[in-house]
Structure 1
Amino acid sequence: MTSYGDSFVEALEKLKKHASWVILCHENPDGDTLGSAFALYSLGRREGKKVSIYSKDDRPEVFSFFEYFDELRSAEKLPPDEVKGALLVAVDTSTEERSLANLPELLVACADSVNIDHHGDNALYAATNLVAPKASATAEIVTRLMEAYGAGITRGEAAALYTALTTDNGSFRYNSTSVESHRCAEILLTAGAVPSEIDDRIHENMTEDVLRLWGAALTRTELFAERRCAFFWLRGSEISAARATPNSLDGLVNMLMRIKGVKVALLLAEIGGRNKLSVRSRAPYSARDITARFGGGGHVGAAGAKVDGDFDGAIARVREEAEKYVRVGNPAGK
Structure 2
Amino acid sequence: MKLNQNDVKEIFEIIDKSNDICIAGHKGPDGDCIGSVMALYELLKPTKKKITVCFDGSIPYNYKSFVDEDILAKEYDGSKYDVVIVLDCSDVERLGKYKDILINTKKTICIDHHKTNMKFADINIINADISSTGELLYNIILSAGKDKDITKKIAEFIYIAILTDTGKFSYSSTSSNTHKVASNLMEKGINVSEIDNIIFNSKPSNVVKAYIDCISGINLFFESKLGIASITQKTIIENSVEMGDVAGVVEFIREIKEVEVSCVLKEHKNSTKVSLRSKNNIDVSEVSLKYSGGGHAKAAGFEISKDVETTKEIIINEFRKYFGE
TM over 0.5: yes
Aligned length: 322
Report the residue type matching 1:82 in the other structure: K
Deviation, structure 1 residue 100: 4.8
How far is 1:123 from its partner?
Answer: 0.8
Residues 205-256 of structure 1 show CA distances to partners (whole Å, capped at 9, x for unaligned) of 2133332332233233222223321222232112211122122221111011
Residue of structure 1 in register with 2:279 after alignment: 282
Shift of 1:149: 4.3
Picking from 96, 102, 110, the partner of 2:105 is 110
Structure 1 stretch 308-317 or stretch 184-193: which is displaced more? 308-317
Contact 2:132 2:165 in 1 (8 A): yes
- Over 3 Å counting, the alpha-carbon distance change for 1:9 and 1:132 in structure 2 is farther
Whether 1:172 aligns to 2:169 is yes
Q: Which residue of 2 aligns with 1:99?
A: 95
2:200 partner amino acid: H
Query: 2:48 — aligned with what?
Result: 48
Do structure 1's residue 157 and structure 2's residue 177 form an aligned pair? no
Q: Is the 8 A contact 2:11 2:109 kept in 1?
A: yes
1:324 Cα deviation after fit: 3.0
Distance of aligned partners of 1:65 and 1:310 in 2 relative to their CA distance in 1, 3 Å threshold: closer
- Sort the Cα spacing of 1:314 and 1:179 in 2 relative to 1 into closer, same or farther, 3 A: same
- Aligned equivalents of 2:172, 2:320: Cα separation in 1: 23
CA displacement at 1:122 relative to structure 2: 0.6
Do residues 241 (structure 1) and 211 (structure 2) align? no
Q: Which residue of 1 aligns with 2:33?
A: 33
Change (3 A) 1:64 1:219: closer
Match of 1:280, SS?
A: strand
Q: 1:308 to 1:111 in 2, by over 3 A?
A: closer
Tell me, which stretches of 5 or more residues in structure 2 are unaligned? none
Mark the CA change 1:12 to 1:179 in structure 2 (over 3 Å): closer, same or farther: farther
Could you tell me how far apart the structure 2 residues matched to 1:273 and 1:107 are? Answer: 25
* Identical counterparts, % of pairs: 27
Match of 1:197 among 194, 201, 218: 194
8 Å CA contact retained: 2:270, 2:305: no
Task: Say if 2:224 is the partner of 1:227.
Answer: yes
Matching residue within 124, 130, 135 for 1:135: 130
Gaps of 5+ in 1: 329-334
Q: CA 1:135/1:16 → structure 2, altered by over 3 Å: closer, same or farther?
A: farther
Alpha carbons of 1:135 and 1:45: their partners in 2 closer, same or farther (altered >3 Å)?
A: same
Contact 1:236 1:273 in 2 (8 A): no
Q: Is contact 1:290-1:325 (8 Å) kept?
A: no
